Amino acid sequence: MSAASKHNLRMVGKLAVVVAGMFAFGYVLVPLYKHICEITGINVLAVGETQVPGGPSAGANSQVDASRTITVEFDANAHGPWAFKPAVATLKVHPGELATVMYEFQNVQNRTMSAQAIPSYAPRNAAPHFNKLECFCFNQYTLAPGEKKQWPVVFVIDPKLPKDVTTITLSYTFFEVGSNPAVSAQSVRTGAGT
């Protein structure tokens, strides 16, 4: 066997190991991602599959705390000339109860624009207990001039919410992304801009 043939066989062996490694990585990626998200709390969808009433692994809904009522206030701020508002100002929910509220958005400019929302919560200690299962804040959206959209926020408040919290304010700031999104996002975080 020539040196070139031996070299080619070694290369084929190395490539086979790489292919097997890539397959194994792809195979374990989804369960690994779900596990990391559950630990860090980054992806509420992973939490929702196991803890949300009515989720795939839930039987009878025993997680709703009907003895408590939380008032959720909805707020909307737009950094730019857009119409952005919640369909309702407040909603009363029980901890553990699945709830949905719609937000309305309209691009009132004469140009196409892309935007994204950043949520904030008051009081701050309510944030870890406010689990969004579906939210327009997860994505960026592009709207044509004059285009109107409605987007849902589907959420559940964890029954472990401290007993002294009876009102939560969910506030969204909608800002344009595109030509210089870092500037827009920074102005939202620092409170600068209009």
Where along the chain do its domains lie?
Answer: 3-42, 70-190
Report d(CA 155, CA 191) in Å as an integer. Answer: 26
Architecture of the domain whose range is 70-190: Sandwich (2.60)
Is the bond preceding residue 162 a cis peptide, omega within 30 degrees?
no
Q: What is the pLDDT of residue 13?
A: 92
Q: What is the pLDDT of residue 102?
A: 92
Q: What is the pLDDT of residue 186?
A: 42
**pTM for the model:** 0.57
Question: 10 - beta bridge partners?
Answer: none
Tokens 């508002």 sit on residue: 85
Report d(CA 152, CA 155) in Å as an integer. Answer: 10
Q: What is the pLDDT of residue 189?
A: 43
Q: What is the pLDDT of residue 42?
A: 61
**Strand extents, DSSP E, the chain:** 70-79, 82-86, 90-93, 98-107, 113-122, 130-135, 141-143, 148-157, 167-177
- For 121, which DSSP code? E
Q: What is the pLDDT of residue 187?
A: 40
Q: What is the pLDDT of residue 100?
A: 92
Walk along the chain (194 residues) and give the pLDDT tens digit of each residue.
Answer: 788 888 989 999 999 999 998 888 887 777 777 777 666 656 544 444 444 444 444 444 557 888 899 999 998 888 777 888 999 999 999 999 999 999 898 888 888 888 888 888 889 888 898 988 888 888 888 888 888 989 889 999 999 889 999 999 998 888 888 754 333 344 444 444 33
